[in-house]
A = this chain, B = another copy of it.
Amino acid sequence: MLILITYDVNTQTASGRKRLQKVAKQCVNYGQRVQNSVFECQLDSVKYREVREKLENLIDKDTDSLRFYNLGDKYKSKVEHIGAKPGFDVTEPLIFFD
């Protein structure tokens, strides 16, 4: 299933900026960055729980927020992009033609 992860980390302090880096780094391990604080991740329920727990342990719950949106398996028609840096489909292999 496609899990969308969005986050807001308060970067007014040095420790906040560190948390932001850690959250982003962890998200990179699980999916595709499509915007600065938005990741699309192809996950099963085990991996979904795993990333949620990891991120939950990284943030300061008083100042930062995480949101997870489950777009299911049939998500292609549910996503629209306009403008720069479009995400690419991680489920489709890169094919090179001679």
Contact = CB atoms under 8 A, between A and B. Distances in A.
Interface string A66-94: 11111110000111111111100000000
Nearest to A80: B68
A8 B85 contact: yes
Interface in A34-76: 34-38, 52, 55-56, 59-72
Contacts of A55: 82
Contacts of A36: 8, 37
- List the 8 closest pairs (A to B, CB-CB), nearest first: A65-B83, A8-B35, A66-B82, A68-B80, A70-B78, A61-B83, A65-B84, A6-B38
Given A61-B83, A67-B80, 4 more contacts: A35-B37, A56-B82, A63-B83, A70-B79
